[in-house]
Structure 1
């Protein structure tokens, strides 16, 4: 993927060694540290439209999660623990410590937002502010799964099936699966919201068998160990100690069903949020609306 376009001019590129393997990241900007975590089926590239403005006020760390983009893809194991959001969160703490950041704010989208709130629960005191984009907690997704939600998020159960079923199904035409999936989750129901250069990154990754397997492991973890971790926290009454801002697309995945703010209430006592006019891929579909909503919230954090 070395021939792909650089969508982060002026940002440094580097690898950081962690227990999850080598993590690739982009690093740039000035001000208080802000970690940005991407979702499925994307990579760090999804932040390219909001990064320049955020970098005016924050030092950005923009990694590829384990198994995605250019980061290492560890073996999943029988319990899928290497792809649990707990393991991903721990790797991100290692990354930030290596760069010299003991405290930071965090914004995550999709699977990255699940690693983000897990980091907040497992490492209290690390996060100054937390922004989650277009998700509700994993606990809520599974415990409130009905016919309508199951049809909407069919990939949650399909990709979580034992290997090699989803790998074989998607691997037959991975670019078609990616294009169809991403288009179906936008407000316009096509690929017009995405920069073609970013799409080239996403297609290259899912076309690699080890990346595709890692994505399936991510969802297998989501249906098993991630859910168990959420259930344990809910049962114990654990909550996030930092303020949480939930932002979702008016045509995104959380917008259909229970109110996203109601869904977050059990885990986030310091909660606020808003919807923006777009589909699931908020940072690419509506970058200016996202910036207008989240930057005032992030400005209230540690300087």
Structure 2
């Protein structure tokens, strides 16, 4: 009987405060949409790094035939087989604790397996390229990718080495942008959550004030504090629950349309967050919204419904 009464009072309160409750739903929706976007962005950075970041290699570009900007290539010719073998031996001896594997890629192999895949017609900047225009290279798989600088220091001064490049350097700016985007969305989310808490508290306080006579009568007939307060708390909780669930639905739609549906088809070499990621974070978003709403309602009711 008491639960039926509480639910009846909650329904009555909901019908009386539809505009304000819609505002709470909207603010909660936007707030937790930002929070979810922030979490998904950081999850994307983590997943991308975990998928291939540690698998990228250090490329040791050997001197080409002809002119080069490197002082190590003053001879104007590419290293001989003996010189390449000597360089590999140096790597194995001096970088044994850093380098896990060495792969030699000849001009012909690079032209056939890499260049022609990117430029099937063999043309680059208006010129037709051949294998002789390519550079031979050594591809180093590191035991610890963070040790790139050690490799660069040892090999940059070696004869026959034009440049030492780390593939990760290509993607660091992308990760930096994503990390900044995470920070921005997190700050916006924090501001919106604060607004949601204030709006929820104000809405519940107004609802309680508008029914002060009814609550006073309930107190006089012996109703407990929780019997009086629970309908108002449920009012705020239900509004926040709907708003947070809608934010999860929107996050799922965004991931489906723009991530797995568009980005995954456009840029295929990066692993992306998916619906499973949204499913994992959704309960936390909903629980957080409900908890914050309940706390805001309790605090706001304390002023008007003192024991």
Whose strand fraction is larger, Structure 1's or Structure 2's?
A: 1
TM-score higher than 0.5 here? Answer: no
Whose helix fraction is larger, Structure 1's or Structure 2's?
A: 2
Q: Place the TM-score, normalised by the shorter chain, in its bin.
A: under 0.3
Give the TM-score of the pair, scaled to structure 1. 0.22
Structure ID, larger Rg: 2
